[in-house]
Amino acid sequence: MKTLTFFSLLGLIALAGCNTPSKSADDAKAPAPEMTTELLGTYWKVVEINGQAVTNPPSNQKEAYILLNKEGNKVQGSGGCNSLMGSFEIMEGNRIKFSGVASTMMACPDMAIESALGKAIEMADNYAINGKYLMLHKAKMAPLVKFEAKPE
């Protein structure tokens, strides 16, 4: 009888050890946390300017992008033809200020994207990151320019 009691008790201990806590209904409904891309050090490809999609550049032009460098708060990039460079400052509340932004002066067949990107950067005073997208805004207006993080 002692042997039967011993094995019964051992079996109950083993079953109790296998019991894993079940997820609550709240845990099952909670969305997975969204991945957020880092503002600094990310290659941001231009995908939209003033609500208009930016498609792949013609074969004689480069991809339009910006890169906000951690060191020295320097911005670099391309409007598709000319290189751009300057400085930026990040402030509380997702505010951003670009200054001293300049570009090289090469003439290209299509300068529309380049011109619009330069104006958007100049006007922007805040930013938002949603997953792999960066949007530059002026006040609470629709995005001036939308970027997509490009994997390295």
Query: Does residue 19 carry a pLDDT above 70?
Result: no
pLDDT digits 0-9 by tens, 56-109:
777 668 899 999 999 999 999 999 999 999 999 999 999 999 999 999 999 888
**Domain extents for the chain?**
43-149
pLDDT digits 0-9 by tens, 122-151:
999 999 999 999 999 999 889 999 999 998
Look at domain 43-149 and name its CATH class: mainly beta
pLDDT at 100 (0 to 100): 96
pLDDT at 82 (0 to 100): 94
Give Cα separations from 59 to 43, 54, 108, 116 (angstroms).
20, 15, 12, 20
CA distance 69 to 77: 11
CA distance 130 to 36: 6
Query: Would you place residue 46 in the very low, low, confident or very high pLDDT band (cuts 50, 70, 90)?
Result: very high
Query: Does residue 11 carry a pLDDT above 60?
Result: no
